[in-house]
Structure formats: structure tokens, C-alpha cells
């Protein structure tokens, strides 16, 4: 039996070279599960708040509502499917993670297809480059960090090496590791603190 499947590209906005992933997911996937899949495929640790945005409407977990910040456009996303927001090829939404560092991801529906229900989804089919370290200060601070790491003579070099480790490789991406995690119960995504 066939099921409707979305091919989605996730791109970390502002990254150069681009940090991106291409995944296949069921069209009826709920946003809470899509959040976990994004966290896993990109390499985040689910340590911060998040939301999806489309047309100035904010889709977020009910637990993240705050009377001070919330407005009438906020929607509890627990029952919202990805197909409710992405309806046709090239449809886009935004996924925002860590409101302090402001990691913005562009989510693009590249293709609507079908897969046999016996095929395991979600699956990552392509991607490039490592996710930035958590709490590094956003895309501009990450770019600064990469510049420092290219120059061992820089006075900040040792501090960054102590923080990210000598093995940090901004070009590293292992699709097999990602797909192994995606096969676990919660798609490899740790529970939010």
C-alpha cells in the first residue's frame, strides 16, 4: 500500500557554506514529531525552545506558551500535520530554534511523492556540513568561531578548542549515523530539559 510522502529540504539560514539536510517524511506527520526529526537530522540537542512559523502564525508546543509573549496568532501544534502547512511543491515554512541564538531554518517542500508503507520513514537522503555547537551565539558568532579555528595564532584559538574540542570538523556530516538515530523511538531526539 502506498502513502503520501514529502521530500523536504531543511536549510540553516545564513550558513555559508550551506548547512542543510534533505529528508523523506510521511505527509501526515505531526509537527511535534517533525520538530524531533529536525533536531536529529541537523544535529541539535533539543536544549531550547522552538516554533514553526507560516504567514505570521506561530505553531508551538502548548507547554511553551507564555501569557506575556503569546498572541492570538499562536497555535498549539500538537494536532497540526506538516501537510496542513506545506500543501504544494515549493511551499515554505520557517523553523526557529533557540530564541537567544536565533537559529532559523528554511523548510521547503521539494517534492510530493509516494512510498510503500513497508519503507521506513523518516529517512535522511542527503545533507552537508556539521551543525554549529549549541549556545555559540548564532550564525554570526559561529562564523567568527570558524575564522578563529583556522588560525592557531589567534589569541582566542585555545578557548575555542577547549570548548568545541580538537576534533570539531565544520564539514562533518554522517548520513548513516543520522538514519540510525531516526530509527529510534523518538527519532534520536533527547527530551527537552
Structural domain including 101 reads: 2-131+171-182
In a domain, 92, yes or no: yes
Residues 39-50, mean pLDDT to the nearest whole number: 95
Q: Nearest to residue 73, comparing CAs of 60, 85, 90?
A: 60
In a domain, 192, yes or no: no
In a domain, 29, yes or no: yes
Confidence of residue 68 (pLDDT cuts 50, 70, 90): very low
In a domain, 138, yes or no: no
Q: Looking at residue 31, which CATH number applies to its domain?
A: 3.10.290.30
Q: Report whether pLDDT(97) > 70.
A: yes
With a threshold of 0.85, does the pTM exceed it? yes
In a domain, 116, yes or no: yes
Q: Which helix (H) or strand (E) segment is 136 a member of? A: none
In a domain, 189, yes or no: no
**Buried b vs exposed e over 53-81: b needs ≥16 C-beta within 10 Å?**
bbeeebbbbeebeeeeeeeeebbebeebb
pLDDT digits (tens, 9 = 90+) for 112-156: 999 998 999 999 999 999 999 999 999 999 999 999 999 999 999
Confidence of residue 1 (pLDDT cuts 50, 70, 90): confident
In a domain, 164, yes or no: no
Number of structural domains, the chain?
1
Mean pLDDT across the chain: 92
In a domain, 84, yes or no: yes
Amino acid at each position: 500500500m502506498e502513502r503520501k510522502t514529502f521530500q523536504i529540504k531543511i536549510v540553516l539560514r545564513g550558513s555559508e557554506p550551506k548547512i542543510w539536510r534533505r529528508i523523506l517524511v510521511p505527509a501526515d506527520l505531526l509537527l511535534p514529531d517533525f520538530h524531533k526529526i529536525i533536531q536529529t537530522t541537523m544535529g541539535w540537542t533539543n536544549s531550547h525552545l522552538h516554533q514553526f512559523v507560516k504567514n505570521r502564525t506561530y505553531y508551538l508546543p502548548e507547554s511553551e506558551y507564555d501569557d506575556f509573549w503569546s498572541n492570538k496568532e499562536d497555535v498549539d501544534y500538537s494536532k497540526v500535520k506538516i501537510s496542513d502547512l506545506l500543501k504544494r511543491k515549493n511551499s515554505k515554512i520557517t523553523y526557529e530554534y533557540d530564541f537567544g541564538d536565533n537559529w532559523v531554518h528554511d523548510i521547503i517542500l521539494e517534492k510530493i511523492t509516494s512510498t510503500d508503507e513497508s519503507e521506513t520513514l523518516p529517512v535522511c537522503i542527503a545533507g552537508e556540513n556539521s551543525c554549529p555547537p549549541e549556545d555559540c551565539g548564532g550564525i554570526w558568532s559561529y562564523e567568527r568561531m570558524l575564522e578563529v579555528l583556522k588560525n592557531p595564532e589567534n589569541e582566542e584559538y585555545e578557548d575555542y578548542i577547549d570548548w568545541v574540542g580538537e576534533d570539531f570538523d565544520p564539514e562533518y556530516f554522517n548520513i548513516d549515523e543520522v538514519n540510525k538515530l531516526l530509527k529510534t523511538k523518538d527519532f534520536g531526539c533527547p527530551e527537552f530539559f
